[in-house]
A and B are shown apart, each in its own frame.
Chain A
Amino acid sequence: SQQGEEDPQALSIQEGENATMNCSYKTSINNLQWYRQNSGRGLVHLILIRSNEREKHSGRLRVTLDTSKKSSSLLITASRAADTASYFCATAAYSGAGSYQLTFGKGTKLSVIP
């Protein structure tokens, strides 16, 4: 079952604009991670935010986490054509027996038009 749900499903912007993607989840989490996937290839880890953190930055990426609303957002500033990809949020939640399971949303497809 999907834990994280991204919104919007697809986003098309002009190069240079900012892109914001949102992720909502249902249960308590240990951390939330964002990944990028280029056209049916493997996923690339972008950023991890712990449940006790509210905001994190990495280059042009800014992630926020609101555990009270069970939501996160990923902001990509000054987008480039190379940012065109699908973006997934993944929540790490306790699954029993000392393990955490990473559950992915269905992703947001971002198109950056040159």
Chain B
Amino acid sequence: KAGVTQTPRYLIKTRGQQVTLSCSPISGHRSVSWYQQTPGQGLQFLFEYFSETQRNKGNFPGRFSGRQFSNSRSEMNVSTLELGDSALYLCASSLAPSGIRQETQYFGPGTRLLVL
């Protein structure tokens, strides 16, 4: 079974631009969560989607948004990029959303975003 895939793996953008990152979960997994990882703040939860609905959202500004498609693939978008948005963005999938069962999350390799 293929693991979680994220595209692109690396991305360089300039301030003010917007970016869209993609995540394909493990086949059969319907829950997708997104995390931002930076050296200073560590791993921070962005949002969780299940069956195309956002179930949970972290403390990030509205510039960060996401969506999930009927095939469970998910995208996250960051508009008006700031230097501080430079980070490793990780996507994780699980069979069911958090809280239904004590689900293990399977992480993708991440997308490394550099904002210049």
B residues near A (Cβ < 8 Å) are: 4, 33, 35, 42-45, 48, 55-56, 58-59, 88, 90, 92, 97-99, 102, 104-110, 112
Contacts and interface: CB of A to CB of B under 8 A. Distances in A.
A50 B55 contact: no
Nearest to B90: A42
A58 to B, nearest CB: 12
B58 to A, nearest CB: 8
A43 B102 contact: no
Question: For the side of the interface on A, what is the size category?
Answer: 20 to 34
A109 B116 CA distance: 28
B107 A44 contact: yes
7 contacts: A1-B59, A42-B109, A95-B56, A99-B56, A103-B45, A104-B43, A106-B42
Contacts of A104: 35, 42-45
